[in-house]
Chains A and B, each alone.
Chain A
């Protein structure tokens, strides 16, 4: 048996929330251990959802925008510079019922006096039969990864939010035609994205519609759409279908341990505190409203400060007496 080390701070997740919490707690000499996740193509990989994006135009400080993966690489390096350590694995079990909190990667256990949950959210799928089989064969959740392979083709994006329209605009660089399939007759996306999309000749909107069936054996050959108002069905002969219908918080690890709302987002109180003492949440995992890189980073900072204050208030504080007071 190897001895389990107890850390002052364990951070689960490595998007803007987790890495900002890492930067702050590292600068407070709390030597955070960050579980950054394992490579994946769905949004729960190291670096989080921004790893699947291209240009980020609204993160303050970058006049000409910055590439999502580049921003995340910089945040990680900044956290590492102050002593944050990283485990490039996914946590498969947690026990937060006693202090310190316990987390496992396989059979290896780690403990943290304070735990920051910043596991983010991942793309929702349509839930259609053929979807899994055709994923990577025409069906995609990552326009930046796969758009390249649809040069000169007719494809579709499903969704009506900012992510959907950003993907649609990006995909017009490659595809001849991009249909945006949206189940309502108005968009949730920001005005600037709407205007950009309406002006784009290659984008055509299919309102009040949802895909109900996907066709093709080894690759996508088309989709059947249903008009949600009339019930009428139609065929759309697209070779690519990009799914951007929103996100689901990555909270299954915490079922039965942390309080959640009806959509499984973690419920915070007094800043970033959760229903379990010493456990804090930041970023999309607790945010069903804003879900921006900058709000995630902001709440990561809050969680770091809340965690530090909570640790200071504990009787058996370890090496945190030298904590600098200046943030």
Chain B
């Protein structure tokens, strides 16, 4: 499914990030975070509309605390954009589609 977000865990994170030939946007989130719930549907939309340009993934910080710690996540939602396996951009806080498209413009 084009719009479906890939689920990342401590176990598959490096593999998925390393294997992605497109920019990969990782959404750090958790069930208990209200603003996080609003971001995933927006990302799915952006993924659908930009198929072939960018991939979206989500990472539950409860299930994958290791990765969250490694990237110094201190606030969710946080989006990290990986290109060629390297974190290139960090977007902190929930945002609407317009603002996110602007923030992600360089990768789209």
Contact = CB atoms under 8 A, between A and B. Distances in A.
B106 interface: no
Nearest to A37: B96
Interface stretch (B6-14, B35-43, B46-54): B35-43
B89 interface: no
A47 B68 CA distance: 27
A45 B94 contact: yes
B74 to A, nearest CB: 5
A138 B94 contact: no
B30 interface: yes
A51 B34 contact: yes
A281 B97 CA distance: 27
Given A39-B42, A145-B76, A45 B35 contact: yes
B92 interface: yes
B75 A47 contact: no
Chain B contact-residue range equals 20 to 34
B64 interface: no
Contact of B93 (A47, A136, A138, A219): A136
Contacts, number: 89
A208 B21 CA distance: 55
Interface string B58-72: 000110000010001
A51 B76 CA distance: 13
Contacts of B94: 39-41, 45
A121 B72 CA distance: 30
A76 B69 CA distance: 35
Given A46-B38, A144-B33, A40 B93 contact: yes
Contacts of B93: 40-42, 135-136
Q: Output the residue of A38, A39, A54, A89 with the most chain B CB within 10 A.
A: A39
A51 B73 contact: no
Contacts of B38: 39, 45-47, 51
Contacts of A69: 34, 37
A206 to B, nearest CB: 23
B64 to A, nearest CB: 13
Nearest to B76: A145
A148 B95 CA distance: 21
A142 B74 CA distance: 11
Contacts of A142: 33, 35, 75
Interface string A248-278: 0000000000000000000000000000000
A80 interface: no
Interface of A: 37-42, 45-47, 50-54, 68-69, 88-90, 106, 135-138, 140, 142, 144-146, 148-150, 219, 240
The 8 closest A-B pairs by CB, nearest first: A38-B96, A136-B92, A51-B34, A39-B38, A136-B75, A39-B94, A41-B93, A69-B34
6 contacts: A38-B97, A40-B35, A40-B95, A52-B34, A146-B76, A149-B74
